Chains A and B, each alone.
Chain A
Amino acid sequence: GAGVSQSPRYKVAKRGQDVALRCDPISGHVSLFWYQQALGQGPEFLTYFQNEAQLDKSGLPSDRFFAERPEGSVSTLKIQRTQQEDSAVYLCASSLARQANTEAFFGQGTRLTVV
C-alpha cells in the first residue's frame, strides 16, 4: 500500500490477556517508530528501529511491552498480561531517512481497550 498500515484498528482485550499489534511501514522505509497516545494527550515515544535493529526502547513502560522487526520491514508490538492503564491508541510511524531531517509518516493507529 501507499501508506503505513496498522492492524487491527480496534482491539478489546480482557485484563491479563496478551495482545499483538502489527505495523506495515511504507516500503523501503528504514526507520520505524512506535508511539502510545492516551486520550487527550500527544503521542509518546515507545521504541525505534533502524532496519531490524532496535536502537532505542527507552519509552517502553514496562517489561510487559516488547517490539520486534525481524526482517527490517513489518513490526509487531506485543503487550503481555495487559492492564487497564495500557488502554490507548498505539501509533506506528515510518521514515525513509536514517539520520537526515525528514518527517515520519503515521498509520491510523490501533485503539486498544483493556476491560
Chain B
Amino acid sequence: DQQVKQNSPSLSVQEGRISILNCDYTNSMFDYFLWYKKYPAEGPTFLISISSIKDKNEDGRFTVFLNKSAKHLSLHIVPSQPGDSAVYFCAASLNFNKFYFGSGTKLNVKP
C-alpha cells in the first residue's frame, strides 16, 4: 500500500513558465516532507524540505506548499529552466526513521 503518491508520471512546461509538481500522502502522522531531484544514472539529490508545522517553504526558484488537511504537497518552480528537466520525487518521513517515496514525476522544460 503506497503511502506517498505522485499521480502524474510526466509534466512538460515551457521555459520561463511555472512548473507545479504534486504529491499526495495517506498517513497523517508524517512530520517531515522532502523533494528530491534525480538525473539519469545518478542518485537522488535533495532539493527542498518542509516540516509539518509549516505550510510553505521557499528557496530561490523553488517553493514547497503543504496542505495538511488535504494531505497534499506541491513543488513550484518559477521560472522553469531547461536544466530543471529531471525526475522529481516527493518523500515523507515519520520520526525520521525512514522515508517513503512517491513514484516520481518526470519534468521536461522545453527551451
Is A99 an interface residue when CB atoms closer than 8 A count as contact?
yes
Which B-chain residue is minimally distant from A38 (CB atoms)?
B103
Report the Cα distance A31→B44, complex, angstroms: 17
A42 touches B102 (CB 8 A): yes
Considering only residues 91-107 of chain B, those with a C-beta below 8 Å from chain A are: 91, 95-104
CB distance from B96 to the nearest CB of A (A): 6
Considering only residues 80-94 of chain B, those with a C-beta below 8 Å from chain A are: 89, 91
A-side contacts of B98, CB under 8 Å: 33, 45, 48, 56, 59
Contact among A59, A101, A103, A104 for B31, CB-based, below 8 A: A101
A42 touches B96 (CB 8 A): no
Q: A43-B89, A101-B31 are in contact. Are A106 and B99 (CB under 8 A)?
A: no
A-side contacts of B102, CB under 8 Å: 42
Is B66 an interface residue when CB atoms closer than 8 A count as contact?
no
Is A80 an interface residue when CB atoms closer than 8 A count as contact?
no
Is B1 an interface residue when CB atoms closer than 8 A count as contact?
no
Is B34 an interface residue when CB atoms closer than 8 A count as contact?
yes
Majority SS at the chain A contact face? loop
Is B108 an interface residue when CB atoms closer than 8 A count as contact?
no
B-side contacts of A4, CB under 8 Å: 43
Is A12 an interface residue when CB atoms closer than 8 A count as contact?
no
Number of A residues, CB within 8 Å of B: 30
Contact-residue size bin, chain B (C-beta under 8 Å from the other chain): 20 to 34
Is B28 an interface residue when CB atoms closer than 8 A count as contact?
no
> What are 16 A-B pairs at a CB distance below 8 A?
A40-B104, A41-B104, A42-B6, A42-B89, A42-B102, A43-B89, A91-B44, A99-B95, A100-B96, A101-B49, A101-B96, A103-B46, A104-B99, A106-B45, A107-B43, A109-B43
Taking Cβ atoms with an 8 Å cutoff, the residues of B that contact A are 4, 6, 31-32, 34, 36, 41-46, 49, 51, 89, 91, 95-104
Taking Cβ atoms with an 8 Å cutoff, the residues of A that contact B are 4, 31, 33, 35, 40-45, 48, 55-56, 59, 91, 93, 95, 97-109
Going nearest first, the 10 A-B pairs with the smallest beta carbon separation are A42-B101, A106-B43, A103-B46, A45-B98, A101-B32, A42-B103, A106-B44, A108-B43, A43-B101, A107-B43
